[in-house]
Amino acid sequence: MTQQQNGDFSPINLKSFIIDTKINFDLYMLHPSQNRHVLFSSKNTQFSDATRKILLDNKVPSLYISPCDYDLYLQYIEKYLNRIISNTTIATPQKSEWIFECAKKITHDTLDNPDVRKNIRRSTTFVKNLVGFITKERSYFPHVQKLFETDYSLSCHSINVCMYALALCVAMGESSLKILEGVGMGCLLHDIGMTVIPHDILHKDGALDELERETIQKHPEFSTQLLNNLSVKNELIYDIAKSHHEKLDGSGYPIGLKGDDIPSHTRIVAIADIFDALTSQRPHRDAFPTYQAFKILINDFEGKVDGDILKKFVTLFQNKK
């Protein structure tokens, strides 16, 4: 039997394996007395119901994978995410973890290679699964929120905004799957134009000068160009990418839209975007705690963001268990 020293192996809940599917990575068991990981099955082995039953009968709830196979495991979860989400024996917190891990991988790949249409298709499929999940399991938000990462990166920010905005849409009574999917995709791609901004501007440790600020404020235009290049058709995605920095009083950018000229779902995303930016660690400042971020939104953005939407957003945090 192949054995490896106990290191950074990841435990894998058996419920993430779909019966009669091929597992394209090695699976290990932890040898209790030797503190070593022992090969249980080689890659490309079929995971059968009999295998699952034997493991459970022997009180083995988890197998392990090596660090080098973690991306293969995420690909497996992504492929079978819909079936995992539909499994009523899996608790919401566990589903939330797998969804969030998938989101990180897919969004990173999409924003790292924004001109690859395959990644847009992956994102679209993921968002459909995500919307199906949140419309059926309304208690998901506190579990997902615990997984949010406050160290800023473009992909993590996009995921956080997506989760916040969809939760807010549902809380405000939105039930159209088409609209929710458009909002979800719009959020994942809302800052895709940032991928063409120079790294030294995006990660500058200090205040931006006027020219740098002007460059940053062009990212909605860059986003629109990239979405056009990718043949994205959904107008809601364009609205979010173009207008999430617009303000009700006309002080936003890139156009300076006012009031009702700003689409309602874009107003939702605007609040989610500002809140996540405030509560994320940035090169020039620490992350604000939740209560302080709300205080800034209420006081400094009065008349700039939709007050009714902001009130509903605050209740999401008051209702969490």
Whether residue 229 sits in one domain with residue 101: yes
**Cα-based distances in Å from 269 to 207, 224, 289, 313:** 25, 16, 20, 11
pLDDT digits (tens, 9 = 90+) for 55-102: 999 888 899 999 999 999 999 999 999 999 999 999 999 999 999 999
pLDDT per residue over 157-204, tens digit each? 999 999 999 999 999 999 999 999 999 999 999 999 999 999 889 888
Residue 36's pLDDT is what? 84
Residues 115, 194 within the same domain: yes
State how far the Cα of 109 lies from the Cα of 224, in Å rounded to an integer: 19
Residues paired with residue 64 on neighbouring β-strands, in sequence order: 11, 28
Q: At residue 314, does pLDDT exceed 90? A: yes
pLDDT at 68: 93
pTM of the entire structure?
0.91
Q: Coil, strand or helix: which one is 28?
A: strand
Longest Cα–Cα distance of the chain, Å, equals 68
The CATH number for 279's domain is 1.10.3210.10
Hey, how many other C-beta atoms are within 10 angstroms of the C-beta on 292?
12
Token pair for residue 116?
């690859």
Residues 60 and 186 in one domain: no
User: The domain containing residue 42 runs over which residues?
Assistant: 1-70
Buried-state track 15-53, b at ≥16 Cβ within 10 A, e below 16: bbbbeeeebebbbbbbeeeeebbeebbeeeeebeeebee
For 181, the token pair is 């999917």
Q: Say whether both 184 and 250 belong to one domain.
A: yes
- Tell whether 75 is covered by a domain: no
And the tokens for 130? Answer: 């995500």
Examine the fold and report which residue of 70, 96, 120 is the final residue of a domain before the chain moves on.
70
64 in the same domain as 17: yes
Res 253: pLDDT: 95
What is the DSSP track for 83-152?
HHHT-TTS-HHHHHHHHHHHHHHHHHHHHHSTT-HHHHHHHHHHHHHHHHHHHH-TTHHHHHHTT---B-
Confidence category of residue 3, pLDDT binned at 50, 70, 90: very low
Residues 301 and 221 in one domain: yes
**Total of domains in the chain:** 2
Which residues pair with residue 36 across a beta bridge? 5, 31
Higher pLDDT, 34 or 222: 222
Per-residue pLDDT at 254: 95
Q: Are residues 46 and 117 part of one domain? A: no
The verdict on 314 and 267 lying in the same domain is yes
Residue-level pLDDT at 31: 79
- H-run or E-run covering 276: helix 264-278
Distance CA 303, CA 110 (A): 34
Same domain, 212 and 99: yes
Specify the pLDDT at position 319. Answer: 64
pLDDT for the residue numbered 1: 40
Using the predicted structure, report yes or no on whether residue 230 has a pLDDT greater than 80: yes
Higher pLDDT, 216 or 115: 216
Residue 205, pLDDT score? 79
Q: Look over the chain and give the mean of its residue pLDDT values, rounded to a whole number.
A: 91
Q: Is residue 12 part of a domain?
A: yes
Task: Say if 184 falls within a structural domain.
Answer: yes
Question: 186: part of which helix (H) or strand (E)?
Answer: helix 177-188
Q: Could you tell me if 186 and 269 are in contact, meaning their C-beta atoms sit under 8 angstroms apart?
A: yes
Tokens 């959020």 correspond to what residue?
A: 187
